[in-house]
Amino acid sequence: MEIKKIIEKAKENDQSAFNALLDFFWNDVYGFQLKRTENENDAEDITIQTFSKAFDKIDTYNDSYEFKTWLITISKNIHIDLIRKRKSYIQDSSRRHVNDEFYDIIDESPSPEDKIITEQNLAKLLRDIKKLKPHYQEIINLRYFQELSYKEISEELNEPINNVKVKLLRARKLLAEVISKK
């Protein structure tokens, strides 16, 4: 069947005519875009968009021009639009990135209110610790305030590591009881 007849059938919304046009011109449009983009995925996406747009606007096709030329022109314009979108996206994101650097800095330092609350909580905790027996106070101090390891505490107190662990466990339980009684 002659291409002009297939185009006429496509203008009448004949699905087989659309399939025939797609089959006949696919390689031309895809090859054109593959040379332009040098990327198979982009070439295929643009080719699909080209046929989609051409089939939507087939009524506007002027048969005094070659159908292939019309398709290639649509394809070229889609590619140009894609390049423009990518450039504007890159410019917008780079502009946004520059501006964000000044506004998105998170200040994680404690506020004056946070410092007061922390100091009050620490003061309460120290009062509660002082209610424990001296050897429990000492082990809590070594572990949590001086941040010594179990081994270092065992050397400091001259006791086996297991004893240190058991004492620390008892001290924490007793401290939890003191705190929960309030």
- The 10s digit of each residue's pLDDT in 77-130 is 999 998 888 888 777 666 655 555 555 556 677 777 777 777 778 888 888 889
The full set of domains in the chain, from first to last, is: 3-103 (1.10.1740.10), 112-180 (1.10.10.10)
- What's the rounded mean pLDDT across residues 130-150? 89
Q: What is the pLDDT of residue 94?
A: 62
Burial of 103: CB neighbours in 10 Å, binned 0-12, 13-18, 19+: exposed
Quote the tokens at residue 18.
Answer: 């659309």
Q: What is the pLDDT of residue 106?
A: 64
- What's the rounded mean pLDDT across residues 23-50? 93
Quote the tokens at residue 131.
Answer: 């209610």
Q: CA nearest 53: which of 30, 72, 33?
A: 72
Decide if 70 contacts 28 (C-beta within 8 A). no
- What's the rounded mean pLDDT across residues 136-147? 89
Q: CA nearest 6: which of 31, 24, 32, 26?
A: 24
| pLDDT confidence bin for 63, thresholds 50/70/90 | confident
Cut 0.85: pTM above it:
no
- What's the rounded mean pLDDT across residues 49-78? 93
| pLDDT confidence bin for 181, thresholds 50/70/90 | confident
Decide if 118 contacts 110 (C-beta within 8 A). yes
Question: How many angstroms separate the CA atoms of 131 and 133, rounded?
Answer: 7
Q: What is the pLDDT of residue 60?
A: 92
